[in-house]
C-alpha cells in the first residue's frame, strides 16, 4: 500500500472544494498550540480547529524544549514585524494528554539507551505526571527571556479515554507569570 498516493487522492478532494486562498499569514485566533505528536491527539479534531486559526507545533510529549522556545521567540519577532508593531504578543496553549508514550522516557534504562546510542538526553522531557509536567513547561516559558511579556500562556490536559480537555493553568501573560511570587517551578536542569 502506498500511503502517499492515498493522501494525494484525499488532497485532491480537499483542493476541489478549497475556498480560502486569501488566508492571512497570522492565525485568526492569534494562538500557538504545543501538543504531542501522538496520532490520537490531533488538535484540529480535539479542539474543533479550522484551517488558519492556530499554529500547531507538535513534538514527543508536547514538551517545552529549547527548540520550542526558539520557535516561539522567532514567531514573536515575525508577528511583531507582520503587524508593524501593533501586536506584541499572542496566545500559547500547552496541551499534553493521558496515556502518553513519552511516559516511557522516564525509564532510566531507556534514557541510558537513547543517550548511549543516539547521544540524546530525554531526561528533562520525560512525562511523569502531566499536570506537574505542564506547570514545569509553563515555568520554562516564564524563564525564557527571549519570549515577550505580552505572550499569554495556558495549559490543558486532554484525556484520550473521555475526549475531555481539562484546564491545568489558566490564561496569564508571561509578564503576569514573571511578576507572580508563586511562579511555576522550573527544572533547573533545563
Query: Which secondary structure element, helix H or strand E, spans residue 59, and what is its range?
Result: strand 54-59
Do the domain assignments include residue 8?
Answer: no
| 3-state secondary structure at position 33 | strand
Helices (H), 36-106: 43-46, 66-82
Range of the domain at 69: 24-179
Based on the structure, what is the number of domains in the chain?
1
DSSP 8-state code for residue 184: P
Q: Which of 173, 123, 163 is nearest to 42 (CA)?
A: 163
Do the domain assignments include residue 117?
Answer: yes
- How many angstroms separate the CA atoms of 14 and 188, rounded? 46
pLDDT by residue, tens only, the chain of 190 residues: 689 999 999 999 999 999 988 998 899 999 999 999 999 999 999 999 999 999 999 999 999 999 999 999 999 999 999 888 888 789 999 999 999 988 999 999 999 999 999 999 988 888 999 999 999 999 999 999 999 999 999 999 999 999 999 999 999 999 999 998 666 655 433 4
Do the domain assignments include residue 124?
Answer: yes
Ramachandran area for residue 71 (φ above 0: left; ψ -120 to 50: alpha; else beta) = alpha
Do the domain assignments include residue 114?
Answer: yes
Sequence length of the chain is 190
Q: pTM (2 decimals)?
A: 0.90
Do the domain assignments include residue 16?
Answer: no
Do the domain assignments include residue 54?
Answer: yes
Amino acid at each position: 500500500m502506498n500511503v502517499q498516493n492515498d493522501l494525494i487522492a484525499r488532497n485532491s478532494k480537499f483542493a476541489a472544494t478549497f475556498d480560502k486562498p486569501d488566508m492571512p499569514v497570522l492565525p485568526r485566533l492569534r494562538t500557538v498550540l504545543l501538543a504531542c505528536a501522538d496520532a490520537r491527539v490531533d488538535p484540529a479534531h480535539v479542539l474543533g480547529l479550522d484551517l488558519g486559526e492556530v499554529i500547531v507545533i507538535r513534538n514527543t510529549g508536547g514538551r517545552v524544549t529549547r527548540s520550542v522556545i526558539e520557535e516561539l521567540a522567532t514567531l514573536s519577532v515575525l508577528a511583531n514585524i507582520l503587524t508593524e508593531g501593533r501586536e506584541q504578543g499572542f496566545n500559547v496553549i500547552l496541551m499534553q494528554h493521558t496515556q502518553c508514550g513519552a511516559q516511557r522516557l522516564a525509564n532510566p534504562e531507556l534514557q541510558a539507551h537513547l543517550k548511549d546510542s543516539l547521544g540524546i538526553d530525554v531526561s528533562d522531557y520525560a512525562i511523569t505526571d502531566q499536570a506537574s509536567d505542564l506547570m514545569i513547561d509553563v515555568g520554562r516559558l516564564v524563564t525564557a527571556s527571549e519570549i515577550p511579556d505580552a505572550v499569554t500562556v495556558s495549559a490543558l490536559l486532554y484525556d484520550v479515554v473521555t475526549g475531555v480537555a481539562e484546564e491545568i493553568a489558566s490564561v496569564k501573560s508571561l509578564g503576569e507569570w514573571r511578576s507572580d511570587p508563586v511562579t511555576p517551578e522550573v527544572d533547573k536542569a533545563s
